[in-house]
Amino acid sequence: MNEQHILEQRTPQAGRLLIGLYPARYRDLHSEDIAATFAEATEGLNGRALLREHLDLASHALRLRLRIASTDPAGRMLAGTAPVALALAAGECLSGLLPSLTALATTSPQARPRLFAVEVVLVALVFIPWIVALLLTATGRWRRARPVAVLAALIDLGVALVVLGAYDRAPGALLRACALAALVLLAPPDLVDTGRRGRWEAVAVALATGVPLAVLMDSRVTLLGWSWYEVPAMVGFWALLVVSLLLLVHLSARRPDRLRALGIALGPAPWLLEYGIGATHWVVAYFVVLIGGAVAVGGVVHLVRRMLGAEPA
């Protein structure tokens, strides 16, 4: 009891509250070890480093409580979902960044200096965190990318509340931001693929999403006579198309990880929530056709391999 009392004194109040998030049985068995490890890890830390430790402790407790830890099948699935969702968000960020920079370049800072300064700050606040999160993911530093991505999602949440509050898109934008933050925070970081293949896949998804959408956002580009702004679900459709191609690559492998593949298929889930409001039948149709098509083609590839004797039954 004396040692436990000393550990409780060393553990900050916030840490003790976060330890309370663990399941009761797990807390009874490991509370002393958790408190000692947390106190040692946070000693002398402040600012972002301390916030990162708090996020790690809270996310680990929630993963155990929700049965999505590293040893759970749902945890393996989320480890495939989170980097795809982050890459899609970064790609959408890139698609909006290029037109925003073009608009800033054509604006005269001498005419309205205050408005120009506000626009520059808003562009930096909205776009830079997602780009930094993507760069950290591309270099294999997923643990550092997580808090940056959560911050970016919270900024998106604030923008949805302040800027889109008067529009119909606000509820969908709120759902998307909350879902993105939850996916990135709750996915087991030790299961996320930080190898060369995983890093390249994240970059490829971001670029394949952002570059075409940046072209589509040009008002001169039309789709069957409709401008991009008249087809808001186009973002959801394109995200599903990109993910379906990545899913096909994974399912066509000789020994596919089906749980991770299922996680990849759920990568566009935040966008399904956003664009599903008011256009549910279209979004469901996109998901069934594209993701279902990728699964079917992957199955055909394995069937052909077995018929040719290149793969055991």
pLDDT digits (tens, 9 = 90+) for 274-296: 776 665 667 777 788 888 888 89
pLDDT tier at 198, thresholds 50, 70, 90: very high
Residue 207 has pLDDT above 90, yes or no: yes
Residue 10 has pLDDT above 60, yes or no: no
Per the model's pLDDT, the better-predicted residue between 312 and 88 turns out to be: 88
Residue 234 has pLDDT above 60, yes or no: yes
Looking at residue 6, what is its pLDDT? 44
Residue 3 has pLDDT above 70, yes or no: no
CA 74 from centroid of its chain's CA atoms: 16
Looking at residue 218, what is its pLDDT? 58
pLDDT tier at 192, thresholds 50, 70, 90: very high
pTM of the model: 0.82
The span from the CA of 174 to the CA of 155, in Å, is: 11
Region of 284 (left: φ > 0; alpha: ψ -120 to 50; beta: rest) is: alpha
Looking at residue 119, what is its pLDDT? 75
The span from the CA of 212 to the CA of 234, in Å, is: 11
pLDDT averaged over the chain? 80
DSSP 8-state symbol, 223: E
Per the model's pLDDT, the better-predicted residue between 41 and 163 turns out to be: 41
Residue 205 has pLDDT above 90, yes or no: yes
Per the model's pLDDT, the better-predicted residue between 205 and 22 turns out to be: 205
CA distances from 233 to 169, 283, 288 (A): 11, 8, 15
Q: Are 185 and 169 in contact (CB under 8 A)?
A: no
What average pLDDT does the segment 28-56 reach? Answer: 78
The span from the CA of 162 to the CA of 165, in Å, is: 6
CA distances from 123 to 96, 114, 118, 162 (A): 10, 14, 9, 15
Looking at residue 286, what is its pLDDT? 78
Residue 79 has pLDDT above 60, yes or no: yes
The span from the CA of 215 to the CA of 42, in Å, is: 46
Per the model's pLDDT, the better-predicted residue between 133 and 97 turns out to be: 133
What average pLDDT does the segment 1-23 reach? Answer: 62
pLDDT tier at 88, thresholds 50, 70, 90: very high
Looking at residue 46, what is its pLDDT? 75
What average pLDDT does the segment 87-114 reach? Answer: 77
Listed range (6-20, 68-82, 158-172, 272-286) with the worst mean pLDDT: 6-20
Per the model's pLDDT, the better-predicted residue between 46 and 180 turns out to be: 180
Residue 227 has pLDDT above 90, yes or no: no
DSSP 8-state symbol, 22: S
